[in-house]
């Protein structure tokens, strides 16, 4: 492998392992370290601790796990892991030990997907060289679970991914590029999300490879909302599946998209990178 040296900051669930292994196999850059935080604060773990979690919420979490296995397990099984993986508890990305390992790896870029909010030394040291992907379309949907809320609100065209530079806020850094999810008849919330993750991984790799040509486009001027994990309660989960039961995907496939908000497109990536 050749080219730019990158450190990945991510999680350790199946979708994150897929992401890490796909990037580690890309010949256009070299993954010198992958810091993978545990899943002890993930959806399944949170619901297991929540006495008010509904049966539908539990089924939703179980279905997400099964869908990730369908989409990612085979790739994860056959692709080798990154050559240097550091697995740590959730939230440890800002500890002195992790920061020291990242600095010792001497990366050109930090690449984040699904890690805890990064603060302090890494933000300062890698200003302008710290990329993040937010699974949601910012600024409209920021925070947690932000590709579930457009589905709950009946706006599947607002499911997508936002590639940005990291700053000290929550999904507030300069936006570099955005993509929309691709829908298909028979989709569930999980198939939409997992297909988007596969699409996102390829676009992210292209963004890393083209980093020297990447510019910061004009920002989108729009109001949005910050979502928290706790917002996805039993009522929200029921509303999600009511939308799918009432033909959400079918309506979306018939929507010509003439009134959809314009997304940010980076010229460095060329045409065809996302809907």
pLDDT of amino acid 120: 87
pLDDT of amino acid 101: 97
pLDDT of amino acid 45: 81
CA distances from 73 to 85, 159, 166, 199 (A): 19, 23, 29, 16
Residues 212 and 218: their CA atoms lie apart, in Å, by: 18
Torsional class of 91: left (φ above 0), alpha (ψ -120 to 50), beta (otherwise):
left
| pLDDT digit string, tens, across residues 12-28 | 999 999 999 999 999 99
Residues of the chain with pLDDT under 70: 1-2, 41, 169-171, 271-275
pLDDT of amino acid 1: 45
CA distances from 274 to 179, 180, 210 (A): 4, 6, 16
Q: What is the pTM of this model?
A: 0.94
pLDDT of amino acid 202: 97
């Amino acid at each position: 492998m050749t080219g730019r040296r990158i450190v990945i900051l991510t999680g350790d669930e199946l979708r994150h392992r897929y992401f890490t292994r796909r990037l580690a196999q890309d010949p256009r850059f070299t993954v010198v370290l992958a810091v993978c935080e545990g899943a002890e604060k993930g959806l399944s773990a949170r619901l297991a601790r929540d006495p008010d979690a509904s049966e539908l919420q539990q089924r939703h979490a179980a279905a997400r796990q099964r869908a990730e296995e369908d989409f990612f397990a085979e790739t994860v099984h056959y692709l080798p892991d990154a050559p240097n993986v550091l697995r740590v508890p959730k939230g440890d990305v800002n500890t002195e030990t992790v920061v020291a390992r990242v600095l010792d790896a001497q990366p050109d870029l930090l690449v984040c997907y699904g890690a805890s909010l990064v603060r302090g030394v890494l933000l300062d040291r890698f200003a302008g060289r710290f990329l993040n992907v937010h699974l949601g379309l910012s600024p409209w949907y920021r925070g947690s679970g932000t590709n579930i809320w457009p589905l709950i609100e009946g706006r599947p065209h607002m499911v997508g991914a936002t590639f940005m530079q990291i700053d000290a806020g929550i999904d507030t850094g300069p936006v570099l590029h955005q993509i929309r999810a691709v829908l298909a008849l028979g989709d569930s919330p999980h198939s939409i999300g997992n297909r988007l993750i596969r699409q996102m991984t390829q676009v992210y790799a292209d963004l890393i490879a083209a980093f020297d040509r990447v510019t910061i486009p004009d920002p989108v001027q729009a109001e949005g909302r910050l979502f928290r994990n706790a917002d996805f309660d039993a009522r929200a989960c029921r509303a999600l599946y009511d939308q799918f039961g009432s033909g959400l995907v079918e309506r979306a496939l018939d929507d010509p998209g003439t009134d959809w908000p314009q997304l940010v497109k980076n010229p460095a990536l060329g045409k065809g990178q996302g809907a």
